[in-house]
Structure 1
C-alpha cells in the first residue's frame, strides 16, 4: 500500500507524454481551489499538533495521569502528531503540484514513516483495549507495570519499523521532464505479486486484525459494564468506580470508531486501484484522492477533542494548558482533578475496598464487614 506519496497520482494519470519526451499536468487546479485545499490541510496540521502536544503534556506533567492506559495514549498522540507533521503537508504539496521537491532521502522516509505511525497508533488502541479487558473482566490478575508498558510500546515501534521497511527500501525518485516523482518501485512493477502481497498484508496488520481484537475485547467489556445491573446496595465508591470505567471505555470506543471510519475510504481506494488501475485515469480522481486523504489525515486531530469532551481530567488539563486565554477559567475542581492522588491505600497494583454485607439470620439483620481486593 503506497500510503504516503501516492506514486500512482504522480506517475500514472497526472502526467501524459506529449511526444517530445516531456510530460504535462492534466489535472492542474485553479488557484482558488488550491487555496481551499491548503486551508483544509493546514487545519489538520494546526489542530493535530496543538491538541496532541497538549495531551502529552497533560499526562507527563501530572503524576496522577501516568497510568497504563495513558502511557498508550501518549504513544498514540505522538504517532498522530508525527503523522501530521512529517506527512500531511508534504503529501499535500506533492499531490497539488505533482512534483517531488524534497529529495531521495525524504522520499524514502515519506514512504516509510506513515505506515510506522499508523501501526503504532492502532496497536496502541489495541493495547488499551486489552488492558481495559484485563482490568474489568479479570480484575484480580496482575496488570502491566510502568516498565512493562514501555517495553510493549518499544516492541510496537520495532514491529512497525519492520513492516514499513520494504516501502523505504524500494522507494525512489524518477525524473519525468520537467518533474520529479517519488514512488515505490516494486521488483515486478506496480500491480505485481510483491506489491499485491505487501498491500494485503499491510491492510490486514494495520487495520483489520487490530480492529477485530478491539471489537471482541470491547464487546466483552461492554457486556460486563452495561449488560449487568449495579447492585442496589452497592457502596457509593463501587458505583462511582463502575461509572468511571464506563466513561473510559466509552471514550476509547469513540476513538477507535473515529479512526476506523477515517481510514476505511483510503484503504478501499487502494484496494480498488490494485484491481482496476483505470480508475486513476478518471478526470475527477485527483479531487477524490485529496478528499479521501484529507479524511484519513484528519484522524490525527480528533482524539484530543474526544478526550476533552468525554473525560473530566483531560478537560481540566486542557483548561490549565490554555488558561492564558481570556475566556478560559481554571477552577479549584480542575486543580483537584489533576493534582490530588487517590485517598485509599494501594499496594502492588491492588487496593483494599471495604464493603458492608447485610445478611438475615434468625430474623435479625446481621452486618458483616468484609474486605476484597480490587484492581487499582
Structure 2
C-alpha cells in the first residue's frame, strides 16, 4: 500500500501511523489495536514472522556460544576478542529482544505489545545495533594500530580494548536514549510490527529531522569513515609488504586473504546499516511523497540479520575462535585448526611492519 509522509503535528505522543491514501480513520488502523492486514497479505506477515524466528534462534545461539567460549578458554581473552565479545553481547540483546518481539508481533500482524512494548523494542534494538556498529569501527581501528603501527611502539592492550568497549556503549546510549526523552520517539515502523525512531513526522514537537541528521552523521558517517580509512591503510601496508616480498608465497597468500576479509567486512557493514541510513535520509528529503511501507520494513530486517552474519564474519572466520568453539561442542579437528590458526597469525604478523 502506498502511503504519504504525514505533516500533521497534533497527534498522540505514543502513536503515529502514516495516513493511507484511501482512508482518514487512524484510530481504526492503530498498530497497537488491530491487525494491519491492509498493509500486506497473511503470507507476507507470516513469512516475516518465520524469518524473525530464524534470526532469533540463529542470532541468540551463535552469540551465546561466542560469549560462553570466551569464558571457558582463557587464551581467547585477548584485546581483539574482548571487542568481539562486546559485539556478541550487543547482538544478543538485539536477537533476544528485538528479533523475538518482531517474530511475535508479525505472527499477530500488529504491535500487540502496545506502546510500552514498542518503546522497549525500539530502544533495545537501537542500543544493541549501535554498540555493534561502533564495535565494527573499533575492530577496524585495532587492526590498523596493531598491523600498521602508526603510533610506533604503542601496544594495543586489553585495557585499551575495555576502554573502547565502554565508549561503544556510551555512544550507543547517546543515540538510543533521546527518543525516550523527547528528541524524536520510538513508533511502529514499516508494516507496524517492529519499532524504531520516528523518521516521518515534521515540525518542532519531536525534532525528528535533526535527530535523523544526527544519526546519519554521528552513527553512520563517522564509524564508516573510520572503517574505510583503517582498512584502506591496512591494505596499503600489506600490499607494500607483499610487493617487497614478491618471492614469498606465504606473504602473497596472507595479502590476498586479508584483502578478501576487508572487502567482506566493509560490505557487511554497508548491508547492515546503509538501508537504514538511506531510507531515513530519503524520508527527510522527500516530505509529502508517497512510499510503500513494505519497503520501509527492509532496513529493520537487514539490521536484525546482522546478529547472525556479523558473528560469522568476525568470529567464525577467526580460526582460533572456531577451534575453541568446536572443542567446546565436542567436535573433532580442533587441534589441527588451532595449529593452522597459529601459522596464519605468524604469516600476517610477518606482513605487517616490524
Once the two structures are superposed, what CA deviation does each residue of 1:193-221 show, in whole Å capped at 9, x if it has no partner? 52111111111111111111111111111
| Structure-1 residue corresponding to 2:233 | 220
Once the two structures are superposed, what CA deviation does each residue of 1:106-150 show, in whole Å capped at 9, x if it has no partner? 333333233322221122111121222122222742223222321
Q: How many residue pairs align between the two structures?
A: 324
Q: Is the 8 A contact 2:49 2:102 kept in 1?
A: no
Q: Is the 8 A contact 1:124 1:153 kept in 2?
A: yes
Q: Are positions 1:128 and 2:139 aligned together?
A: yes
Q: TM-score, normalised by structure 1?
A: 0.70
| Structure-2 residue corresponding to 1:31 | 42
**1:183 Cα shift?**
8.0
Q: Give the unaligned 5+ runs of structure 1.
A: 1-6, 344-350, 354-372
Q: 1:69-84 maps to which residues of 2 (within 5 A)?
A: 69-84=80-95
| Structure-2 residue corresponding to 1:369 | none
CA distance in 2, matches of 1:121, 1:113: 12
**1:76 Cα shift?**
1.3
| Structure-2 residue corresponding to 1:329 | 332
**Which residue of 291, 312, 325 corresponds with 2:298?**
291
**1:338 Cα shift?**
8.2
| Structure-2 residue corresponding to 1:159 | 171
CA distance in 1, matches of 2:238, 2:18: 52
Q: Is the 8 A contact 2:105 2:193 kept in 1?
A: no
Q: TM-score, normalised by structure 2?
A: 0.74
| Structure-2 residue corresponding to 1:257 | 267
**1:225 Cα shift?**
0.4
**Which residue of 93, 99, 121 corresponds with 1:88?**
99
CA distance in 2, matches of 1:181, 1:212: 29
**Which residue of 46, 50, 60 corresponds with 2:61?**
50
**1:157 Cα shift?**
0.7
| Structure-2 residue corresponding to 1:142 | 154
Q: Using CA pairs under 8 Å that are at least 6 residues apart, name the structure with larger relative contact order, 1 or 2.
A: 2
User: Structure 1 residues 163, 217: CA separation in 2 closer, same or farther (over 3 Å shift)?
Assistant: same
Q: Is the 8 A contact 1:172 1:183 kept in 2?
A: yes
Q: 1:1-376 maps to which residues of 2 (within 5 A)?
A: 11-13=17-19, 22-23=28-29, 25=36, 27-91=38-102, 93-94=104-105, 97=108, 99-138=110-149, 140-170=152-182, 171=185, 190-192=201-203, 194-229=207-242, 231-232=244-245, 247=257, 250-251=260-261, 253-279=263-289, 282=291, 285-307=292-314, 310-323=317-330, 329-334=332-337, 374=354
Computing the radius of gyration from Cα coordinates, the structure with the larger value is: 1
**1:262 Cα shift?**
2.8
Q: Is the 8 A contact 1:10 1:95 kept in 2?
A: no
* 2:181 partner SS: helix
User: Structure 1 residues 273, 71: CA separation in 2 closer, same or farther (over 3 Å shift)?
Assistant: same
User: Structure 1 residues 216, 28: CA separation in 2 closer, same or farther (over 3 Å shift)?
Assistant: closer
CA distance in 2, matches of 1:183, 1:313: 36
| Structure-2 residue corresponding to 1:363 | none
**1:250 Cα shift?**
4.8
Once the two structures are superposed, what CA deviation does each residue of 1:153-197 show, in whole Å capped at 9, x if it has no partner? 1122123212321112234789xxxx99978689xx922252111
Deviates more, 1:73-82 or 1:132-141: 132-141
CA distance in 2, matches of 1:76, 1:153: 9
User: Structure 1 residues 204, 97: CA separation in 2 closer, same or farther (over 3 Å shift)?
Assistant: farther
